[in-house]
Amino acid sequence: MNSALINLSYLAASVLFILGLKGLTHPRTAVRGNLLGALGMLLAVIATFLYRDPLGHGPAQAIGLIVAAVLIGSAVGALLALKIQMTAMPQMVALLNGFGGGASVLVAGAALADLQVEPTIVIVIATAASGIIGGVTFWGSLVAFDKLQELFLPGKPIHFPGQQPLNLALGVVVIGVTAWMATGAGGHLGAAYWTIVVIASVLGILLTIPIGGADMPVAIALLNSYSGLAGAATGFVLDNEVLIITGSLVGASGIILSQIMCKAMNRSLANVLMGNIGAASAGPAADDVYAGKVKGASPDDVAIVMDGARRVVIVPGYGLAVSQAQHAVRDLMNLLESKGTEVEFAIHPVAGRMPGHMNVLLAEADIPYDKLKEMDEINPSFQQTDVAIVIGANDVVNPLARTDPTSPIAGMPILDVDKARTVVVIKRSLSPGFAGIPNPLFAADNTLMYFADGKKAIVDLIAAIKAV
């Protein structure tokens, strides 16, 4: 296969990737879009395999090595994809981000080891960029994976004295070594490159440990973006357009998702990356907010309120997924609908632990996707809602975000559940959410607190409604 033909197949692959992403703009076309993307990948891989010229000059066993590596990678990938629990999706994506970054580091390093001619300054800088971004992505993603999986590191932000100056110093050193590489590195290009990779690896770890568990959605989205950019940099090294195009698409995607997440928490990206969470001291004390005003409710009390409701909105938080209550919630939805009640779900952008996570968790429980409503779409409808049921969510329904400009969550967009006729909050206790502040919603006149574990609460509620 000649090089014009192989470049044409890469062009076709790029077009298929773009069409594939375009398919993801609607659930109806998403499955086909994903298949188009896979087809593009197959085309690119087969074309490369048939590209005899470079494959023909290597060791005779090259083809065998390639096939073996592809088989190992496919087996591991398939095992991960088929075994992973939907609640563990953030960990899976973190791992995939890491492998993407790692692959870029290795391919750029391989290109450097196999230089046929003196590299241009552009190629040297692109190689260094692959090493820096890829190294940060690989180790940063492993730390993110560890934090999400709660293996070795605590979910809480890790701070130590001199953290920022150290990061800055490492950044300066990396740029220095890159500059040295660009001037030829005295013939030690390889040594300079791997030095860069080692420093970037340390930097990747140091940059991710101060990010708190609740902020992981932002970190994962950002690392997703980095893995794309590392791939694009490798594309510059190899002068390969399909790598550049794909890397830019993924880079853009990750940046957009991190912005959406930051906006949903009303925090700047810098603030999230430093691991600064607003001071919890601001605002009223929990006792002043709750004393004598919180009304506890039994399943029977809630069932009576639900009886005859025309419209019910369910607000799921991550607590719902933790107690594995998705299927019970689906049963509740079916029961209410059989009584003629309209049921919808209000999904806050940061519900769950990565962008869109809560939607996947509810879809897995066979809840139709047209019932899952975004915040902006459902907020105006709370005034016409008879009962809003909040399960395992706290900060995202705290009206202080709207009313108290001194609150740490001031200005954060929230779900306006307090405007519903009655609010039922299912929660184990009055403990605060990630922001560490009391929630006046729990003490509001129209709120009933139903203290219980999420799943048991819903199961008991279903029994009570059936008995009414």
Partner 1 sequence: MEAFVGALTVFVLAIFIGFEIINKVPPLLHTPLMSGSNAISGITVIGAMLSVATPSYLSTTLGVIAIVFATINVVGGFLVTHRMLGMFKKKA
Q: Give the nearer residue to partner 1 in terms of CB position, either 87 or 422.
A: 87
Closest approach, Cβ 459 to partner 1, in A, equals 23
Q: Give the nearer residue to partner 1 in terms of CB position, either 307 or 377.
A: 377
Closest approach, Cβ 38 to partner 1, in A, equals 5
Cα of first residue to Cα of last residue in the chain, in angstroms, is 74
Q: Give the nearer residue to partner 1 in terms of CB position, either 65 or 291.
A: 65
Q: Which of 114, 287, 300, 395 is catalytic?
A: 395
Dist CA 468 CA 304 (whole Å): 7
Q: Give the nearer residue to partner 1 in terms of CB position, either 372 or 465.
A: 372
Give, for 262, the enclosing helix (H) or strand (E): helix 241-265
Strands 387-391 and 422-427: parallel
Write out the two tokens for 257.
Answer: 């998702």
Give, for 387, the enclosing helix (H) or strand (E): strand 387-391
- Verify whether residue 395 is a known catalytic residue: yes
Backbone angles phi and psi of 296, in degrees to 5: -80, 150
Q: Give the nearer residue to partner 1 in terms of CB position, either 13 or 181.
A: 13
Dist CA 38 CA 16 (whole Å): 8
Give, for 358, the enclosing helix (H) or strand (E): helix 357-364
Closest approach, Cβ 186 to partner 1, in A, equals 19
Do 203 and 136 contact (CB within 8 A), yes or no? yes
Backbone angles phi and psi of 262, in degrees to 5: -60, -40
Q: Give the nearer residue to partner 1 in terms of CB position, either 23 or 438.
A: 23
Dist CA 119 CA 127 (whole Å): 10
Write out the two tokens for 315.
Answer: 């607000």
Sign of CA dihedral 41, 47, 49, 53: negative
User: CA–CA distance from 93 to each of 74, 100, 180, 208, 298 (Å)?
Assistant: 16, 10, 35, 15, 40
Closest approach, Cβ 168 to partner 1, in A, equals 27
Q: Give the nearer residue to partner 1 in terms of CB position, either 62 or 463.
A: 62
* Side-chain half-sphere exposure of 19, counting CA atoms within 13 A: 14
Q: Is 360 exposed, middle or buried (0-12, 13-18, 19+ CB in 10 A)?
A: middle
The DSSP-derived string for 149-214 is: HTSSS-SS----TTHHHHHHHHHHHHHHHHHHHHTTGGG-HHHHHHHHHHHHHHHHHHHHTTS-GG
Do 185 and 194 contact (CB within 8 A), yes or no? no
The number of helix segments (H) and strand segments (E) in the chain equals 19, 6
Closest approach, Cβ 322 to partner 1, in A, equals 17
List all residues 6 or more positions away from 116 whose beta carbon is below 8 Å from its beta carbon.
none
Closest approach, Cβ 119 to partner 1, in A, equals 12
* Side-chain half-sphere exposure of 365, counting CA atoms within 13 A: 21
Write out the two tokens for 369.
Answer: 């996707």
Q: Give the nearer residue to partner 1 in terms of CB position, either 110 or 280.
A: 110
Active site residues: 395
